[in-house]
């Protein structure tokens, strides 16, 4: 096997293990999923998994990196398309079609872990900074009349909205949808002119 082929094989194995870890973590959480679960899900022996990830902590960290990068990429694409606030809040809108409930549950697990784990917090902060840097010129082009500080606040508020209200709608079926629509109309007038 040539060196590029070997590197490709190693990359594919790591991706297989991370994909299996995502399934297990979405089902049982970071602390509830065992290496045996991930071994069964990936079809690889525990020894093979440990060859690529020397501990569960490292596997969690690498999986969080993948999830956080996927989340950043998703938000960068969606927020660059100038969505309406109502679409961000509505769980069955076009805004959320490419982000499954499984992905949503994984993201909530990542946020929960970030409250306990500084390394996970750092991964999320790095991805958020990349997202803000990517969105800044998009928002500047959309609203050239507002200041850099206003754009910064606009982007941060949108991220708060998405991370808070929008994520909540995926797990709380008792939300008053007409009230959310009323609030989203108000926010849309001030947030996304």
Q: Report pLDDT for 188.
A: 67
Enumerate residue ranges in the chain where pLDDT < 50. Answer: none
Q: Report pLDDT for 108.
A: 87
Q: Report pLDDT for 192.
A: 61
* Longest CA–CA separation in the chain, Å: 61
Specify the length of the chain in residues.
Answer: 193
- d(Cα 61, Cα 67) in Å, to the nearest integer? 10
Q: Report pLDDT for 23.
A: 94
Instruction: Map residue 147 onto helix, strand or coil.
Output: coil
Query: Which 3-state string (H, E, C) describes 51-110?
Result: HHCCCHHHHHHHHHHHHHHHHHHHHHHHHHCCCCHHHHHCCCCHHHCCCCHHHHHHHHHH
- d(Cα 182, Cα 193) in Å, to the nearest integer? 16
Q: Report pLDDT for 190.
A: 65
Which among 162, 165, 110, 108 has a CA at the least distance from the CA of 132? 162
Q: Report pLDDT for 83.
A: 85
pLDDT in tens, 119-144: 999 999 999 999 999 999 998 998 89
């Amino acid at each position: 096997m040539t060196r590029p082929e070997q590197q490709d094989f190693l990359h594919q194995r790591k991706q297989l293990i991370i994909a299996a870890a995502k399934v297990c973590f979405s089902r049982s959480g970071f602390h509830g999923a065992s290496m045996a679960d991930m071994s069964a899900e990936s079809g690889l022996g525990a020894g093979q998994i440990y060859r690529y990830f020397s501990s569960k902590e490292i596997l969690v960290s690498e999986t969080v990196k993948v999830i956080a990068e996927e989340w950043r990429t998703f938000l960068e694409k969606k927020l660059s398309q100038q969505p309406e606030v109502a679409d961000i809040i509505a769980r069955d809108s076009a805004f959320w079609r490419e982000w499954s409930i499984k992905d949503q549950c994984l993201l909530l697990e990542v946020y929960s872990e970030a409250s306990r784990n500084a390394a996970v917090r750092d991964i999320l902060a790095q991805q958020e900074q990349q997202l803000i840097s990517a969105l800044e010129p998009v928002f500047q082009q959309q609203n050239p009349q507002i200041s850099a500080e206003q754009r910064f606040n606009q982007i941060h508020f949108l991220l708060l909205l998405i991370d808070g209200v929008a994520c909540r709608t995926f797990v709380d079926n008792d939300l008053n949808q007409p009230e959310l629509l009323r609030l989203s109309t108000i926010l849309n007038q001030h947030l996304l002119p």
